[in-house]
Amino acid sequence: MCNKSSFLLPLIVLFSLSLVACTSKATDLPQTEQNTIATIVAATVEAAFDATQHALSETQRYTEITSTPQPTPSEAPINTVIPSIQTSPTPSTPAGHALRVAYTKAGNVYLWIEGSGSVGLTSSHDAVELRISGDGELIVFKRLDPNNYNIQELWVVNTSGMANERVLVSSMDLSELMPSDPSLNISGIGVLDFTWRPNTHEVAYNTLVLHEGPGFGPNHDLRLVNADTLIKTTLIETGQGGLFYYSPDGSQITLSNPESISLVKADGSDPQPNVLTFPDVITYSEYEYHPHPIWASDSSSLRVAIPPHDPLADPMPATRLWLIPVDGSPAVLLGNIQAMPFAWPDNAFSPNLERVIYAAHVGEPSDNQRELRIANPDGSNETIYASGESLIFTSWSPDSQHFIYEINSGANEGVYVGGINDQPVLITPDPHSMSDIHWLDGTRFAYLLSTNNLWVLRISNLNGEDLGIIDTLPDSNPKFDVLP
């Protein structure tokens, strides 16, 4: 489950550095255009930063976890004591539905099961991210040495019976991927993203280079490790792949690059390189934008929104909407939308692929006024659903009937649940306090709420009714994953 989100990493933080560390494409602009850029960037970043604080850069995210010395990840915990069971209020839910939520608390892995409360599964105090397997039997988690973010590993733990936590990818395994050229100033190799290959106990992951300062250095590789047998496989070597997304049936993989999208079978066979090519998207920073394709539920095709080459060109170019078949047929341009610059429309397509929703800029750039627009998948029949200052679209519900968006400033400030056939419902008037929203089904979602310097993991419904608290978390940047 890549959230998303997931997943594109520290875009807002890196983008805020753009006026200091621009690419040559930005610094070659006339001064008047640079001033315009500064106005737009400042308004966008200032309004969106707090609401997207979970999308921190890798370096910042690593160093803010804790300053307390902890065991190095490669060391097995000594005299491990599994934290005692913590019973939490159980949100009311439909009968017979055993929802599971895995989350980090004080650097440990916890599992909450609907109707049973929470239990701690690890005690290393250095877990920073996790994913629960599709059958709910295993949780893979990333460990990070709080004193050295170059030391990180992937581990797995059972969710029932003996915890049996074990290392999948060690820091030594990652260090073996270090390039031999010392002039690259690389301090280490880290895990960029990891997920369960659908319907298996195989963990797929890719890596990135670690170094001082800003920047995003994906290695564009893809590696597998079996959580049962511990057998490791290199599916795609460094530099040969891209950011990866599995099809729902687990049979195929999309590989996203700054100028192309490719396909390959899940076993690495039958590659289809460059099924879609496009000009790179200027981010006015060191970050390279990678599009996020959306798979059809039957795994037969993908949709993807590609922003324009220069988002700040005047007049503003359109974002293009594409259909990509997997049978070798050419990609088809469906249409265009006028999406807000730098509010990347990665999740514009609804899960059923019948609509797109996105934020569009209106008025003067300094006012930062936006409209939330809904359209057909080709961009036609566009309607305005809501408007507000620093409006951000967050996510679709799994049934494609509802969605969440934020208005980050002004009279209508807050987080809202909207609906295709419903009026918006205010969930909280403080968008900066709500983070990391995960839909559980068509009517419920889990999220983190900041209160009194703590994060509270909660569940609510479409009416904004609080269904209960899963746990209160002292971490500065807790993470969670759900298995509906």
What's the pLDDT at 91? Answer: 42
What's the pLDDT at 174? Answer: 97
CA distance 428 to 410: 14
**Cβ 445 vs Cβ 439: under 8 Å:** yes
Tell me if the domain spanning 62-73+124-213+215-284 has CATH number 2.140.10.30. Answer: yes
One-letter amino acid for residue 462 of the chain: L
Which 3 state secondary structure label does DSSP give 180? coil
Which 3 state secondary structure label does DSSP give 45? helix
Q: Mean pLDDT per segment of 10 residues, for the chain of length 484 residues?
A: 39 37 37 40 39 36 36 38 36 58 97 94 96 96 93 96 91 93 83 97 96 82 98 97 97 98 97 97 93 97 97 93 96 96 91 97 90 98 97 97 97 96 95 95 96 93 93 94 95
Residues 278-318 pLDDT 10s: 999 999 998 899 999 999 999 999 999 999 999 999 898 99
Interior/surface letters 5-24, b for 16+ CB within 10 angstroms, e for the rest: bbbbbbbbbbbbbbbeebee
Name which of 416, 403, 482 is nearest 446 in CA terms.
482
- pTM of the full structure: 0.81
What's the pLDDT at 82? Answer: 32
One-letter amino acid for residue 70 of the chain: Q
What's the pLDDT at 76? Answer: 39
CA distance 398 to 350: 8
445: β partners: 439, 460
Span between the terminal Cα atoms of the chain, in Å: 12
CA distance 361 to 33: 18
What's the pLDDT at 366? Answer: 84
CA distance 79 to 365: 58
Q: Which residues contact 425 (CB under 8 A, 6 or more apart)?
A: 416, 417, 418, 462, 463, 464
What's the pLDDT at 185? Answer: 81
DSSP 308-365: -S-TT-SSPPPEEEEEEESSSPPPEEEEEE-PPTTS--TT-B-TTSS-EEEEEEES-G
